[in-house]
Amino acid sequence: MSRAIKVEDYVFQSLYMLRGKGETFSKVVARLLEARLKFFETLNFVEGVLRYQEWKQAELLKRIKEEQTSRRDSTDTREGSA
């Protein structure tokens, strides 16, 4: 089933320029929608990677602070018993 849609002249010109030889406007729109979906999937993947890296960095900093506190406490205990 096909439907008619109205688009502004500049939109028509843009779609016309993007249209490949023998390609229908429906295929151009479908291709653009698919590209948009892939873009957002990639963006979500990158966002996930960045969030993981931030979490990993925070965990590393937390471990470093815990280790420093542990060493400080160990040193204080040894100095206090001497």
Spans of all domains in the chain:
9-81
Buried (b) or exposed (e) across 45-73, using 16+ Cβ within 10 A?
eeeeeeeeeeeeeeeeeeeeeeeeeeeee
Q: What is the pLDDT of residue 82?
A: 57
Q: What is the pLDDT of residue 1?
A: 86
Q: Is the pLDDT of residue 76 over 80?
A: no
Give the C-alpha separation, 8 to 74, whole Å. Answer: 74
Give the C-alpha separation, 19 to 23, whole Å. Answer: 6
The pTM of this model reads: 0.63
pLDDT over 70 for what percent of the chain?
93
The per-residue pLDDT for range 28-44, each reduced to its tens digit, is: 999 999 999 999 999 99
